[in-house]
Chain A
Amino acid sequence: MKTPIVLLAGFSSLLFSFALNGPVRAAEDKPVVIAGVSRTEALRLGERMYREGILPSGGPMRAVVKGDIPVTGTAFTCLSCHLRSGLGSVEGGIVTPPTNGSYLYKPLRQLHKGIEISSAPVLRPAYTDASLADALRGGIDPSGRRLNEVMPRYLLQDNDMAILIFYLKSLSSQFSPGVSDTTLRFATVITDDVDPASRDAMIIPLEKFITYKNNQAAYYETRAGVRSARMAESMLLSPETAYKRLSLARWLLKGPPDTWRGQLEEYYRREPVFALLGGMAKNGWQPIHRFSEDNRIPCILPITDLPVISDTDWHTLYFSKGLYQEGEGAARYLNSIGAMVKGGPVLQLVRASREGRALSAGFQETWRGLGHQAPVTVTLRSGETATMDSLLKVLSGEKPSVVLLWDGPETLASLEAWASSGQRPEMVFVSSSYVGKGIWTLPDEARGFTYLTYPFRLPRDEERYTGAVESFMGMNKVQGDALIILKKVYSAVQVLSQALMDMKGNYYRDNLLDVIGTSMGAGGMDVAQDRTYPLYERFSLGPGQRYASKGCYIVQLTKGPGPELVKKSDWVIH
């Protein structure tokens, strides 16, 4: 399996890692009162201090960085640098060490790939509550060393300090559910609205990957595999990763979406998993997203055109914002060409469907956010087709300059009618994803005024990725929607493979999400990173980012048979 990028990332992480021997269990199971509050309340308040910089009193935490820069906690939280798991980060040459109790409350002695260097001196004695409070306030560790000045010196009262320290002791102290000495358990969620061909296109390669990984781990344990095993160990920051098995359960959801939650809870009760991987739903991911969020279970790259759009939710990592992002792309494009759309009203014709509503929401929210008036919006009910007469009626005779036709395959009939009537808007935007493959047969007469939102790399540029993906996944001659699904599965397993290495044996769910955010953060300006993943022109994250593809082309079709797509915009439109 791959690749130089993986190897380099692993090696560079090695230089800066503070790998732990394993989890340390926090003292519990007895009534505890911390600074006058219960254990549960102390953890809640401590988590809020750590993540949001808010004191138990509700006021902001205050601190000083770089010697003389006063900061408030809300701008500069513990989480900013130590990340949600508390296991730290490396950025811009600054190493932020772990801050969880199991790291702080033992002597700091160097580890190499998870193995203690027995001859290494103790660099820092174990913290105590008192010395940790001193370090948080004054920036001096128990060995007398001054911490880097980017570490804030906090102004904290004793009670607040006690609550924060109590939280740090609990942070990443026990491995998350779904982890055993030998196995990491995953599940993939599939809803029964997915057609069997699409379901197989997702599940077969995903299970193939799991089998491959487990066969590899088994091989390392054979006599013939010893040499390969040593090589793998030397590559990995946590050698046990090479031997870890993965399991993947199929969680099939049946019936109406409002029953899915109960089914998910029951699956989880029977077999707790570390995370959800891939998965597929046709009619939206919202109930599954909510399940992940409420139970703090990561969900890595489900295949859906209808993700939940949120700036704050943490646990589900999506390929993109789906159809919403196409609507967003249309709004950004129209805004960027400003002058052309000042001639008349902007009209949205929206099919009364989840897809239509997602496209419409993406357009409308973005358009308004860019300072424009809300578009005139008309809903197309079942069986209803948009005609020019109906448009003119809606607009009291005023001809629209721009129409956004957020409709499915029925779109083609409207476009054909408008093309032949001669009376038509200047620009019509449609979603290539929602219209489907019929878009390639759009009559020549309609191509001049029809603009498509296209959320992928253009077909000609994408060709070279297909062979590599098929080869990696051990499949061939995959076509159409199945090929798109295969490429998404490929990306999901690449992301997971890298994350398993970057986790360094620290099997905490938040660490999984932290390391994916940071390791995929390389994509900011990196052309090489762009070429790592299929389908999307650029595919990257950063700490806390939840939608890996941020782009969508606006394209038009060339005239004549076998049309090509012509870019009218950048991948990300500003």
Chain B
Amino acid sequence: MTRRTVSSLAILLLAAAFVFPGKGVCAAAGEKYKRTIENYVIPDVTLVNQDGVKVRLSRLMRSKEVIMVDFIYTTCTTICPVLSAGFANFQRRMGPGPGDVRLVSISIDPDNDTPKKMKEYLKRYDAKPGWDFLTGSREDIEKVTRALDAYTPNKMSHLPLALLHSPADSRWVRIYGLIGASDLVAEYERALGR
């Protein structure tokens, strides 16, 4: 094949695309993640957890505990393993017992993610009680992801998100970017007002 030379500008553009993570990993240089405060209205949908138990989402989200939500799917590469390792590690740091936090992972591949698959997934991450994985009809999942500004039509380009909600505040903390363990604990403490 003939060798071809392309312009320096094109090289720079290509280099940027190849070498650096795309948008969604960090919001800006120097920031580990982007933190915003949001108002969300939770849709009245019923989802199903890893035990096959129906869960009314709006009731779950009105919990007296701090709620942490992420969006994952069981065959995901790259982002979900990091998010789930973060949740698993958070649970370990919180120690035994239910504590005052509830972790909620919501499937963005509901056609594939059955309770059985979600249960196996949680087991792989050594999840403790207090971490639920929810699936449901695609229409309901779309309602939820749109309401929480987490909707992407293509699951392969989904967002590295964690959402925190404290019973003391109607608003949500939105963390955009993959967050480390210490930062996640710090955000939790902050949500508790400690």
A16 to B156, CA, bound (A): 14
With A18-B18, A66-B82, A525-B142 already in contact, the answer to whether A518 and B156 are too (CB < 8 A) is yes
The smallest C-beta distance from A397 to any residue of chain B, in angstroms, reads 32
The smallest C-beta distance from B103 to any residue of chain A, in angstroms, reads 14
List the A residue with the shortest CB-CB distance to B2. A115
Q: In chain B, residues 122-146, which have Cβ atoms closer than 8 Å to a Cβ of chain A?
A: 124-126, 135-138, 141-142, 145
A67 to B5, CA, bound (A): 39
New A-B contacts (15) at CB < 8 Å, excluding given A69-B181, A75-B85, A92-B157: A16-B18, A71-B85, A76-B82, A93-B24, A94-B79, A117-B6, A117-B11, A149-B180, A150-B78, A240-B1, A521-B156, A525-B145, A571-B111, A574-B110, A574-B135
A348 within 8 A of B: no
The smallest C-beta distance from B47 to any residue of chain A, in angstroms, reads 8
Interface contact A94-B22, CB-CB below 8 Å: yes
With A91-B79, A92-B79, A525-B108 already in contact, the answer to whether A119 and B11 are too (CB < 8 A) is yes
With A80-B81, A94-B22 already in contact, the answer to whether A112 and B4 are too (CB < 8 A) is yes
Interface contact B85-A16, CB-CB below 8 Å: no
Q: Which of B59-67, B69-77, B94-102, B164-172 contacts A (4 or more CB under 8 A)?
A: B69-77
With A67-B180, A69-B180, A89-B77 already in contact, the answer to whether A94 and B21 are too (CB < 8 A) is yes
A496 within 8 A of B: no
A86 within 8 A of B: no
A33 to B154, CA, bound (A): 46
The smallest C-beta distance from B72 to any residue of chain A, in angstroms, reads 10
Interface size, chain B (Cβ < 8 Å): 68
Cβ 8 A contact of B78, one of A15, A69, A91? A91
Ordered by A's residue number, 9 sampled pairs between the chains whose C-beta atoms are within 8 Å are: A69-B82, A95-B22, A112-B4, A117-B4, A117-B5, A123-B18, A523-B111, A542-B75, A550-B112
With A526-B154, A542-B75 already in contact, the answer to whether A15 and B82 are too (CB < 8 A) is no
Interface contact B111-A538, CB-CB below 8 Å: yes
Interface contact A93-B23, CB-CB below 8 Å: yes
List residues of chain A with CB within 8 A of the CB of B157: 91-93
List residues of chain A with CB within 8 A of the CB of B138: 525, 538, 572
List residues of chain B with CB within 8 A of the CB of A145: 19
Interface contact A119-B5, CB-CB below 8 Å: yes
Cβ 8 A contact of B181, one of A68, A91, A517, A572? A68
A69 to B154, CA, bound (A): 27
A528 within 8 A of B: yes
Interface contact B153-A110, CB-CB below 8 Å: no
Task: Give the number of A-B contacts (CB < 8 Å).
Answer: 201
The smallest C-beta distance from A477 to any residue of chain B, in angstroms, reads 33
Interface contact B86-A112, CB-CB below 8 Å: no
Q: Mark A66-86, 1 if CB is under 8 A from B, else 0.
A: 111111001110001101000
Interface contact B22-A521, CB-CB below 8 Å: no
A543 to B155, CA, bound (A): 11
Binding site for A on B (CB under 8 A): 1-6, 8, 10-11, 14-15, 17-19, 21-25, 47-48, 52, 73, 75-79, 81-82, 84-86, 88-89, 108-112, 114-116, 124-126, 135-138, 141-142, 145, 151-160, 178-182
Interface contact A95-B77, CB-CB below 8 Å: no
A571 to B181, CA, bound (A): 39
List residues of chain A with CB within 8 A of the CB of B179: 66
List the B residue with the shortest CB-CB distance to A112. B6
List residues of chain B with CB within 8 A of the CB of A528: 153
Interface contact B88-A91, CB-CB below 8 Å: no
Interface contact B109-A74, CB-CB below 8 Å: no
List the A residue with the shortest CB-CB distance to B138. A525
The smallest C-beta distance from A94 to any residue of chain B, in angstroms, reads 5
List residues of chain A with CB within 8 A of the CB of B23: 93
A18 to B18, CA, bound (A): 7
The smallest C-beta distance from B11 to any residue of chain A, in angstroms, reads 5
With A120-B11, A544-B75, A551-B111 already in contact, the answer to whether A527 and B180 are too (CB < 8 A) is no
A118 within 8 A of B: yes
List residues of chain B with CB within 8 A of the CB of A74: 124
A91 to B79, CA, bound (A): 7
Interface contact A540-B21, CB-CB below 8 Å: no
Interface contact B155-A93, CB-CB below 8 Å: no
List residues of chain B with CB within 8 A of the CB of A118: 3, 5
